[in-house]
Amino acid sequence: MKSIPQVKIAYIEQFPRVPTPFRLRNWANTARSYTEAAFRELATVETLKKPTAGGYLGDIFTIPSYVEREGTKGEALTCLGALVGGGLAGFDLTRFEGRDWTAMADAYYTRVNGCGLVLNNLDAANTCGSFWYDIFPSCLYFHLDSLYPGHPSRREKMLEIAQSWLEALPRLKGNFEHTGFDFAKMEPVDSGFWVEPDAAIGLAYIFYISYLIWKEQRFFDAAVATLTEMGRFPENPYYEILGSYGPCLAARMNAEQKTKLPIHRFLSDVFDDSSGARPGWGIIKERWGAYDAQGLAGSTTDSQGYAFAMNTFVTAGLLAPLVRYAPQYAKSMAKWLLHVAVNSNLFYPDALPAAHQRNWAWSKAKNIADISYEGVRHRGQSVPFATGDHAGFFNPYGAWAVAFLGALFEPTSVPEILKIDLVATEFHAPPAYPTYLLYNPLPVAKKIEISSGEGRVDIYDLVSQRFLREQARGSIEVELKPDQVVVPVLLPSDHPDEVSQGDRARAGIVYAYRVDGQTMPIEIPLPKGHLSRSRPVQVSSAADPRFAGGGAVDANWGTWWQPDPKDPEPWLQVDLGVAAPVTRVKLRWLKDREPRICMLLSSKDGRSWDRLAQIDPVPRGLNVVDLSPAKEASQIKITCEPKSEECQLALVELEVYS
């Protein structure tokens, strides 16, 4: 059989082969150390005196979202996250230190308008208006069921969660360009400035796992519908983490259910330096000072880059298993994961000099090196600079997710070649044999050894589609040529192969899924993003140099264009460089600083202009103009009528999409 062609992800191709400085942390030890600190030193146990809205009565535990900061205890992202992290790190938290910590997760279950939900706050009376904060806690709750099965009522609550969001779908009418969903009113919530459309991907995950558990067609149909919607979305829908469920979920559904979901599209949305839902949000691709930062997740524009620990760790854990279902992405995933494994050191106090971090003295005084900073900035008091959004800066809110790296990465005798476990971080995974990802980024061939465990094994490579060894035992040598990737599956030798519809199985367990070469792209190109980003602009005026026109096309919500207060007819014109079919234009205004009227114009030559739309009156915050049919343009211009001199407009971002 022919080897599986490797699909290049152009974004990852920009990374160096080997990150520098090269330091491979023992991530498994870091994860175990964090879990012990979280439950022995940081956690506080209290007893509720009255039942929650979800009917929970008993002990609860809280962990501060940030150390040394009051008022940040009890978030589900911190506490449920710690339970998930502990399970991934190998702890039995049903009996750790004499307590069943996992049972206390039910304190986050609540009922709103008769709907069962798991939300980010204890005893929540309603959803908070952000899809991300309302759906990710439920994903964590589902993960707990995979790590700690058998809890007497958890499945009942999971079923209610899935049913609750299923009831919300008709109210959303297939449109996820909202900020959240209000279950008290059963209607979408709009902030007026940002939307979180990748909520559909998070819900697809909940629906598909629910389908696997309860075998109800309605959940499968909902999973397919929401993923299909995101596969056709007119721009990158990624807001925060929920979009990271997309690639593996699509790959698994294609493998198990023979759907044709666009894996390449979901990967492209993750591996981007900006999102249509959240401009400037994506994967870092630069070197920061003397340190490589490629592969870390967060903002690419805030302080010229601001990566977050939780986003990086969770994204790595969620994406890695897709290689089992879609080995055509093995090399790209391996290259990215190597950078994650090395460059994530930047989140830890022992990896940077004291001058490169906000609170080095605290970690030294407490002798705690395994609680990460919330994030690391490209620019700060030094480059890079480990810090966070709030006082304390070390943040259990995200530090728990290091367990994803601990479960994924095991060193080999060649430091640059990682043994990456493709089974460990997939929740509610189908039965699987040990499957690993090995990649040699070096210019010379290298040999490593992997253990076969007890008994004899046959080793099948998902990439070359051949057996590397048969009837092997003990320590097994694997040779990797330069730039070679291997995905070995360790199979029991005493069972014959079963082949059905291109899938290969042993003892009823599928170990190699059929790869559809007809739908496989050769390469995932660099995402186009919005056409006006960083393009030349002209403006009628600017209040001062801080508010120049470039602030409206830099994919940074912290900058904007603001005309001179006395400018009666402000305008901004952006040169797209080449003529392109424009299908959508988005305008984001600073809060309460939108103009009274706005005209949107297009031109092919910069001299004659066509009117695309007039917005009168201009809504607050985010304005979206969809064009059908598309309009060919090389320049886009907006002209405005301010509300008054005292309330001059402020345009945070002008986004143009093809």
DSSP string covering 84-127, please?
A: HHHHHTT--TTSGGG--TGGGGGGGEEEETTEEEE-SSTT-SS-
Domain boundary pick from 489, 524, 559: 524
Domain, as residue range, for 637: 537-657
Q: Confidence class of residue 391 from pLDDT cuts 50, 70 and 90? A: low
Are residue 557 and residue 617 in the same domain, yes or no?
A: yes
Q: Confidence class of residue 105 from pLDDT cuts 50, 70 and 90? A: very high
Strands 523-524 and 8-9: parallel
- Assign residue 444 the CATH number of its domain: 2.60.40
Are residue 504 and residue 558 in the same domain, yes or no?
A: no
Are residue 546 and residue 631 in the same domain, yes or no?
A: yes
Residue whose C-alpha is closest to residue 23's, from 378, 409, 362: 409
CB-CB neighbours of 45 under 10 Å = 13
Average pLDDT over residues 99-117: 96
Element (DSSP H or E) covering residue 41 = none
Q: How many angstroms separate the CA atoms of 67 and 60, rounded?
A: 19
Are residue 570 and residue 642 in the same domain, yes or no?
A: yes
Are residue 591 and residue 483 in the same domain, yes or no?
A: no
Are residue 651 and residue 544 in the same domain, yes or no?
A: yes
φ, ψ for residue 629, nearest 5 deg: -75, 170
Residue 185 CB partners (closer than 8 Å, separation 6+): none
Pair of tokens at residue 303: 């302080």
Element (DSSP H or E) covering residue 295 = none
Determine the pLDDT at residue 68: 73
Element (DSSP H or E) covering residue 211 = helix 199-214
Residue 158 CB partners (closer than 8 Å, separation 6+): 141, 142, 145, 210, 213
Average pLDDT over the chain reads 94
Q: How many angstroms separate the CA atoms of 379 and 301, rounded?
A: 10
With beta carbons less than 8 A apart as the criterion, state whether 607 and 574 touch: no
Are residue 512 and residue 562 in the same domain, yes or no?
A: no
Amino acid at 517: G
Are residue 636 and residue 560 in the same domain, yes or no?
A: yes
pLDDT tens track for 432-441: 999 999 999 9
Burial classification of residue 456, based on how many CB atoms lie within 10 Å of its CB (0-12 exposed, 13-18 middle, 19 or more buried): middle
Check whether 370 has a pLDDT greater than 90. no
Percent of the chain with pLDDT over 70: 99
Distances in Å between the alpha carbon of 302 and those of 58, 306, 376, 489, 555? 43, 6, 11, 42, 9
Q: Is residue 238 classed as helix, strand or coil in its secondary structure?
A: coil
Q: How many angstroms separate the CA atoms of 30 and 356, rounded?
A: 21
pLDDT tens track for 443-493: 999 999 999 888 899 999 999 999 999 999 999 999 999 999 999 999 999
With beta carbons less than 8 A apart as the criterion, state whether 657 and 276 touch: yes
The structure's pTM equals 0.95
Q: Confidence class of residue 69 from pLDDT cuts 50, 70 and 90? A: low
Are residue 549 and residue 582 in the same domain, yes or no?
A: yes
Q: How many residues are given for the chain?
A: 658
Residue 125 belongs to a domain: no
